């Protein structure tokens, strides 16, 4: 199985522009034979908590049909970041598109205290991906909660995919944590971060992959958009 993460430069609040940009990166992943591609936290709107109430939508939003079309046509699973409106409030979610299947949500359960004025703890219809249900998802602050990765390991995860929006200091700390998660749990670990200014910080990029020993095997820079893909069977990157 070939798993990938995308690194994007979202335009603040411009969902149409960001959808088009996502399609370009999805097509690139398809050309490399990817089976799964995950985007950064709130990738379709940019990480903009103060705008979330205005930008929040529902999983069946027709603007996202293009992702299902690509998923069906190319047999690729796609996870895009979007604020989802619920009865309880706004969730930080990954909207998951799988070939010829209904849309699912992975929603952030553990929020940073700075997010609590804008978001609520989310509910998910899906927490694991892959034919063996061995790919665990995480959104940003969750990777810093030991119970989160611990539960993923207990449930049989061998891959840990984190979708984030982090500054340079935040990414440095997250990288140390993710390397430790990989090493401690013998997981292959991925992180998808954005670049460019959002909220009140500059996103630092440096999306990356660590092997089951916690060794960094591939990483993007802190400026450019792009994708990282690895073949789990061979351990080779694309």
DSSP the chain: -EEEEEE----TT-HHHHHHHHHHHHHHHHHTT-SEEEPPTTTTT-S-GGGHHHH-B-TT-GGGHHHHHHHHHHT-EEEEEEEEE-SS-EEEEEEEE-TTS--EEEE--S--GGGTTT------S--EETTTT-EEEEEGGGGG-HHHHHHHHHTT-SEEEEE----HHHHHHHHHHHHHHHHHHT-EEEEE--EEEETTEEEE---EEE-TTS-EEEE--SS--EEEEEETTT--B-
pLDDT at residue 55, as a whole number: 97
Q: What is the pLDDT of residue 231?
A: 92
Instruction: Answer yes or no: is 24 within a domain.
Output: yes
Answer yes or no: is 213 within a domain.
yes
pTM: 0.96
Domain that holds residue 12: 2-231
Does 237 fall in a domain?
Answer: no
Tell me, yes or no, whether 59 lies in a domain.
yes
| Per-residue pLDDT at 130 | 87
What does the pLDDT look like over 74-130, one tens digit per residue? Answer: 999 999 999 999 999 999 999 999 999 999 999 999 999 999 999 999 999 988 998
Dump pLDDT digits (tens) for 19-30.
999 999 999 999
Considering the domain boundaries, does residue 26 fall inside one?
Answer: yes
Q: How many domains does the chain have?
A: 1
Q: What is the CATH number of the domain that holds 16?
A: 3.60.110.10
**Is residue 168 situated within a structural domain?**
yes
Q: Is residue 174 part of a domain?
A: yes
236 is a domain residue? no
Mean pLDDT across the chain:
95
128 neighbors 115 (Cβ within 8 angstroms): no
Q: In this predicted structure, what is the pLDDT of residue 213?
A: 96
């Amino acid at each position: 199985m070939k798993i990938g993460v995308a690194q994007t430069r979202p335009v603040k609040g411009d969902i149409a522009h960001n959808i088009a940009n996502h399609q370009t990166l999805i097509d690139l992943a398809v050309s490399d034979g990817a089976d799964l591609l995950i985007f950064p936290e709130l990738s379709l709107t940019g990480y903009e908590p103060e705008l979330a109430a205005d930008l929040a939508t529902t999983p069946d939003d027709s603007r996202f049909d293009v992702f299902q079309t690509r998923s069906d046509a190319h047999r690729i699973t796609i996870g895009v970041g979007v604020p989802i409106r619920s009865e309880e409030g706004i969730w930080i979610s990954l909207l998951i598109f799988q070939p010829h299947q209904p849309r699912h949500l992975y929603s952030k359960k553990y929020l940073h205290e700075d997010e609590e004025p804008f978001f609520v703890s989310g509910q998910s219809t899906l927490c694991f991906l892959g034919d063996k249900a061995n790919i665990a998802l995480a959104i940003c602050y969750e990777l810093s909660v030991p119970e989160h990765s611990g539960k993923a390991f207990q449930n049989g995860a061998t891959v840990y995919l984190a979708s984030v929006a982090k500054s340079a200091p935040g990414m440095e700390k997250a990288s140390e944590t993710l390397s430790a998660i990989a090493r401690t749990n013998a997981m292959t670990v991925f992180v998808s971060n954005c670049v460019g200014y959002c909220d009140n910080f500059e996103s630092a990029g440096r999306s990356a992959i660590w092997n089951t020993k916690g060794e960094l095997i591939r990483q993007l820079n802190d400026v450019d958009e792009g994708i990282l893909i690895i073949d789990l069977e061979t351990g080779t990157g694309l």
